[in-house]
């Protein structure tokens, strides 16, 4: 158990450190614009975006929410598999055009695109609010996922101590994202992808 906890803490600490140092990926150590913060200056190519999107798949949604849905509701939970395949295939077909248009006009968010495309602040506001409301339960799910991981690692105390540890871990990742923008989750996605592949290879080879 001691080795398991030590390995878990090492991975968690290394991942958090990578997130905090993500800002150094920019040579001038500054993120002066919203475009630089939210889109990493539009500098990521296909491989980086592929890793980033992969990182959005392998989250608490995949490891906790979907298995819980399958366990509780049955086969309907398998919608996540074809949904992911279809959506990401369509995304890699359609989104390059959206990227080109957004780069030409300086759009940063989907709401910016809607305002420019239809010249409507109301539509842009609705899209922005919808995105915020849809993100809230997803953030709550990530908190649940962090707690589940800490419990599995054997380092989640009961009571207020557990809540404090959860707040600390979430706070570190939130600060990293606040400081570095998209660069933080992008680098974490690379680490996460390497870990997932390594574990998969190890399991198959065993």
The reported pLDDT for the residue numbered 23 is 64
Q: pLDDT tier at 105 (50, 70, 90 boundaries)?
A: very high
Any idea which of 48-57, 87-96, 142-151, 196-205 has the lowest mean pLDDT? 48-57
The reported pLDDT for the residue numbered 129 is 96
Mean pLDDT of 110-123: 93
Q: pLDDT tier at 171 (50, 70, 90 boundaries)?
A: confident
Q: What is the mean pLDDT of the chain?
A: 82
State the DSSP string of 47-77.
Answer: HHHHHHHHHHHSSHIIIIIHHHHHHHH-GGG
CA-CA distance, 155 to 119, in Å (whole number)?
A: 52
CB-based contacts of 29, cutoff 8 Å, min separation 6: 23
**pLDDT single digits (tens) 40-70:** 888 888 777 877 777 777 777 787 788 888 9
Number of domains in the chain: 1
CA-CA distance, 9 to 68, in Å (whole number)?
A: 26
How far is residue 122 from each of residues 111, 115, 127, 129, 136, measured CA to CA in Å?
10, 8, 9, 11, 21
Sign of the Cα torsion 149, 152, 158, 161 reads negative
Taking each helix axis as running N to C, give the angle between helix 80-105 and helix 110-118, from 0 to 180 degrees, rounded to the nearest 10: 60
Q: Please, what's the b/e burial string for 5-35 (b: 16 or more CB within 10 A of its CB; e: otherwise)?
A: eeebeeebeebbeebbebbeebeeeebeeeb
User: 12: domain range?
Assistant: 2-205
* Element spanning 32, H or E: none
How far is residue 166 from each of residues 64, 144, 149, 169, 178, measured CA to CA in Å?
17, 9, 10, 5, 18
Q: Is the pTM of this model over 0.85?
A: no
Percentage of residues of the chain with pLDDT beyond 70:
91
The reported pLDDT for the residue numbered 1 is 53
């Amino acid at each position: 158990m001691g080795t398991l906890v030590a390995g878990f803490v090492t991975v968690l600490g290394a991942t958090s450190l990578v997130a905090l140092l993500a800002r150094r990926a920019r040579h001038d150590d500054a993120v002066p614009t919203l475009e630089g913060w939210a889109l990493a200056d539009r500098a990521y190519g296909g491989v980086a975006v592929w890793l980033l999107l992969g990182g959005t798949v392998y989250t608490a949604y995949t490891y906790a929410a979907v298995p819980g849905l399958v366990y509780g509701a049955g086969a309907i939970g398998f919608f996540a598999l074809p949904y992911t395949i279809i959506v990401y295939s369509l995304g890699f077909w359609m989104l390059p055009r959206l990227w080109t248009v957004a780069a030409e006009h300086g759009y940063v968010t989907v709401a910016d695109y809607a305002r420019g495309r239809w010249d409507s602040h109301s539509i842009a506001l609705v899209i922005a609010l919808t995105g915020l409301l849809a993100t809230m339960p997803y953030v709550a799910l990530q908190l649940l996922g962090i707690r589940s991981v800490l419990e599995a690692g054997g380092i989640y105390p009961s009571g207020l101590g557990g809540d404090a540890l959860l707040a600390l871990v979430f706070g570190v990742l939130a600060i990293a994202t606040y400081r570095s923008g998209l660069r933080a989750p992008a680098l974490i996605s690379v680490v996460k992808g390497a870990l997932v592949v390594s574990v998969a290879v190890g399991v198959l080879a065993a």
